[in-house]
Amino acid sequence: MDAGTAGQGRKRHVSDLPADAADDPKITVREFVKEFPTKAGPLLALDHVSLDVPRGQFFVIVGPSGCGKTTLLRILAGLEEPTQGSVVFSQAPPGRPGNSMIFQGDSIFPWMTVWDNAAYGLKMRGVAAAELREVVGHYLDKTGLTRFKDRYPHQLSGGMKQRVSIARAFANDPDIMLMDEPFSALDEQNKTLLQEELLRIWDETHKTVVFITHSVDEAVTLGDRIMVMTAQPGRIKAMVDVPFERPRDVLQLRGRPAYAEIVYDIWQHLRDEVNRSDQQPASDSMETSRRRAKPVL
Ligand SMILES: Nc1ncnc2c1ncn2[C@@H]1O[C@H](COP(=O)(O)OP(=O)(O)O)[C@@H](O)[C@H]1O
Ligand SMILES: [Mg+2]
């Protein structure tokens, strides 16, 4: 399956709302339950999760490892069916893919150059050569990859491979962008650079994004609204609005007292859940956030 165009063309539950209705929710999830059969009996991954993501919102889901984040995103992408519940996507404009998914780690084709990887979704849709050149060129430029367009993935660093995934996903111009911890394997410097690039591209496109992370810092840096999940079984623990104006300057934002307050608020919601889960009590980013946030309270 092509990671860049997951779910494309699938006829799922689509409402008949007009595409330009300003206040219609882009994604409406009702009472998602997901159970996986396992040798030890059914495993409840999602437990009655309901949410609305408005058109053009950067929606972030944060939660401890194993809480059902990837499962939720895979259901939204049409890669998995919920055991119970429904999802409605308001009408996508014709001729565009419903969603593109960017995975953790790299999911680009090793036998294709940077250019061909970025152009893949558009080529599959039969987009004319001139438009393809313009759009792919634009996103390779935005992600700093123009100089590397003839390279193959094995000649690229981890950060550059994730840039290719981002360029491919945005070039594909999906209605909804689904991102599953795309920066989690990167070092701090690369993570910050990629977050800045993603913010710049998002400011241009204002796509509806569902972005998963286990990093509180990343959630507050990028998101308009953050859903905090409980440890498995995944439920909604809290919804937190992020009031910061856009465009955002990542470093400037992180120095603001209001930023630290929101990070601390989310960390409070998460702390019990992280302790409850089987994983490490706190990831680096959560610890960092807590330490940074403490002095302001
Ligand atoms: N195909 C599957 N079969 C059985 N259990 C699964 C399957 N996929 C995920 N799980 C389990 O469901 C829970 C949620 O997984 P996942 O959505 O990957 O969590 P997260 O992305 O938040 O780390 C975990 O306990 C995981 O082991
Ligand atoms: Mg996951």
Q: Is residue 245 part of a domain?
A: no
Query: Which among 35, 110, 115, 32 has a CA at the least distance from the CA of 72?
Result: 32
Q: Which two tokens stand for residue 226?
A: 């953050």
Q: Is residue 134 part of a domain?
A: yes
- The CB of 68 under 6 Å from ligand 1? The reply is yes
Distance 70 CA to ligand 1 centre (A): 7
Q: Which ligand 1 atom is at minimum distance from the Cα of 63?
A: 22
Q: How many residues does the chain have?
A: 297
Q: Is residue 292 part of a domain?
A: no
Q: Is residue 195 part of a domain?
A: yes
Residue in 65, 67, 211 to alter for ligand 1 test, most ligand atoms within 8 A of Cβ: 67
Q: Which ligand 1 atom is at minimum distance from the Cα of 67?
A: 22
What is the pLDDT confidence band of residue 9, given thresholds at 50, 70 and 90?
very low
- The CB of 66 under 6 Å from ligand 1? The reply is yes
Distance CA 66, CA 237 (A): 15
Tally of domains in the chain: 1
What are the counts of helices (DSSP H) followed by strands (DSSP E) for the chain?
9, 9
Residue 143's contacts (CB-CB under 8 Å, 6 or more residues apart) are 163, 164, 166, 167, 197, 201
pLDDT in tens, 42-82: 999 999 999 999 999 999 999 999 999 999 999 999 999 99
Domain extent, residue 19, equals: 3-211+224-240
Q: Which ligand 1 atom is at minimum distance from the Cα of 72?
A: 17
Q: Which ligand is nearest to the CA of 181?
A: 2
- DSSP E strands: which ranges in the chain? 25-38, 41-54, 58-62, 84-89, 99-102, 176-180, 208-213, 225-229, 236-241
Distance set, CA 51 to CA 27, 183, 265, 292 (Å): 8, 24, 20, 30
Q: Is residue 269 part of a domain?
A: no
Q: Is residue 236 part of a domain?
A: yes
Mean pLDDT of 271-295: 53
Integer distance in angstroms from the first to the last C-alpha of the chain?
48
pLDDT in tens, 159-178: 999 999 999 999 999 999 99
Q: Is residue 91 part of a domain?
A: yes
